[in-house]
Amino acid sequence: MEGVMMRNKDDYAVAVRKPDGEIAVIKDKYTGIIPSESVSKIPILRGIAGFIDSLVLGMKAINYSADFFAEETEDEKKEKPEENAGKASDPEKKSGNVEVMSASDKKGGMGALSIAVTIVALFFSLGLFMVIPYYLSLVFSKWVGSTKLLALIEGIIRLGIFVIYIKAISLMEDIKRVFRYHGAEHKCINCLETGHELNLENVRAASREHRRCGTSFLLYVMVVSILFFSLIDLESRALRAVLRIVLIPLIAGVAYEFIRLAGRSNNPIVRSLSAPGLLMQKLTTAEPDDEMILVGIASVEAVFDWKTYLKENFGNDV
């Protein structure tokens, strides 16, 4: 909510544009579900661990940002209306005044309610994107006898549901702003990875498409699932549906390896295979305004020494 999260190894930061216009940055460490560097060297397993870590950190970031707005609501109840007037329009705060704090200074995090909401959301997603497409594809089993062709039809249905879902939620004003902050995140990273100083002007000019994006990852989870599910040939429909859920970590691990390769390789074939993911990002990113870009910059600077990065990789002295 009104923010950007950045992670660099074990450090991560959540930068949020508070209702009063100030940028608050929360810094913390997260070593992962398997706190070992050796995991990052094991293909597939590192993708499974990364997938779970993303869910955990994502919920932490949402809780931290939501906490600021809950605090503002409580403060507004205590203060007089005239005392609140003009808070959000403070030009000094909107220009990028940053308050940095550690996670221990905030009450946000993964409480019992947050964990319950995450579990419910996870089961909803599994049902919508994995189970329902499977049962819808069975309608075609009257005319299609090939398991592989049915898996392809299932994959097309799954992709269609995903696109419709993204388009539907993008009609919500809050989600529109989330997608603009998503664009700010990409533009900040692209600015640095193309060797430019991290400032407002350079970030504005950067691309909002990135080959290591989570949207691309989700797309390739769907593509890889077609390959996996085409190999499942069991009599029990219920068991086939269950396997679609059980195999998700493995599918995520394989999809992660492709996204990792795509982010590092300039091979024409790899770039061509990355193109659908970049196209999908047009649905989940939008152009940010300057205030959103400043939030993105604040989150990067909290966890990443970008000046040293530019000097070591591009010879730029900033």
pTM over 0.75: yes
Estimate to the nearest angstrom the gap between the alpha carbon of 8 and the chain centroid: 15
- Identify the pLDDT of residue 59: 84
| DSSP states of 136-196 | HHGGGGGT---HHHHHHHHHHHHHHHHHHHHHHHTTSHHHHHHHHHHHHHHHHHHHHHTT-
- Spatial distance between the Cα atoms of 230 and 227, rounded to a whole number of angstroms: 5
Angstrom distance (rounded) from CA 129 to CA 48? 18
Taking the CA atoms of the chain, what radius of gyration do you get in angstroms? Answer: 22
Q: In a 3-state reduction of DSSP, which class is residue 5?
A: strand
Measure the CA–CA gap between 220 and 278, rounded to whole angstroms.
11
Residues whose CB is less than 8 angstroms from the CB of residue 299 and which lie 6 or more positions away in sequence, other chains included: 3, 4, 5, 6, 13, 14, 15, 25, 185, 188
| Helix (H), strand (E) at residue 225 | helix 214-229
Between the CA atoms of 233, 129, 275 and 204, what dihedral angle is there, to the nearest 10 degrees? -160
Q: Is the pLDDT of residue 97 over 90?
A: no
pLDDT tens digits along 58-86: 888 888 887 877 666 555 555 555 554 44
Q: If you average pLDDT over every residue of the chain, what do you get? A: 87
Q: What is the dihedral of CA 151, 153, 157, 163, to 10 degrees?
A: 100
Q: How many residues comprise the chain?
A: 318
**DSSP states of 73-139:** HHHHHHS-HHHHTTGGG-HHHHTT-EEEEEGGGS--S--HHHHHHHHHHHHHHHIIIIIHHHHHHGG
Contacts of 241 (CB under 8 A, 6+ apart): 131, 134, 135
pLDDT for the residue numbered 117? 76
**Structure letter (DSSP) for residue 269:** H
Residue 75: the pLDDT is 55
* CB 178, CB 247: distance < 8 Å: no
The lowest-confidence range among 19-33, 92-106, 227-241 is 92-106
Summarize pLDDT for 263-306 with one digit per residue, the tens. 888 889 999 989 999 999 999 999 999 999 999 999 999 999 99
First to last CA, the chain: 32
